[in-house]
Amino acid sequence: MDRRIRNKKLQEKLMTAEKAAKLIKDGMIIATSGFTPAGYPKAVPLALAKRVKKSKEKLQISLLTGASVGEELDGALTEAGIIARRYPYQTNKLLRNNINSGGIAYADIHLSHFAQQVRYGFFGEIDLAIIEAIAIDEEGNIIPSTSVGVSPTFIDRAKSIIVEINNSQPLELEGIHDIYQPQDPPNRYPIPLIKPGGRIGTPYIPTDPNKLQAIVITDSKDQASPLAPIDKNSEKIAS
Partner residues linked to 86 by β-bridges: 63, 106
Residues in the chain: 239
> Cα(95)–Cα(81) distance, rounded to whole angstroms?
10
> Cα(119)–Cα(2) distance, rounded to whole angstroms?
33
Low-confidence ranges of the chain (pLDDT < 50): none
Triad 164, 48, 91: Cα angle to 5°: 80
Q: Supply the pLDDT for residue 226.
A: 75
> Cα(170)–Cα(101) distance, rounded to whole angstroms?
41
On whether the CB atoms of residues 52 and 224 are closer than 8 A, the answer is no
Q: Supply the pLDDT for residue 29.
A: 99
Q: Supply the pLDDT for residue 223.
A: 86
* Three-state secondary structure call for residue 22: coil
Of residues 212, 204, 146, the one with CA closest to residue 175:
204
> Cα(173)–Cα(134) distance, rounded to whole angstroms?
8
Q: Is the pTM of this model over 0.85?
A: yes
Q: Supply the pLDDT for residue 228.
A: 80
> Cα(221)–Cα(22) distance, rounded to whole angstroms?
23
> Cα(114)–Cα(120) distance, rounded to whole angstroms?
10
CA 195: distance to chain centroid?
29
Q: Supply the pLDDT for residue 122.
A: 97
Q: Supply the pLDDT for residue 140.
A: 98
Q: Return the CATH fold of 8-180+200-238.
A: Glutaconate Coenzyme A-transferase (3.40.1080)
- The full set of domain ranges for the chain reads 8-180+200-238
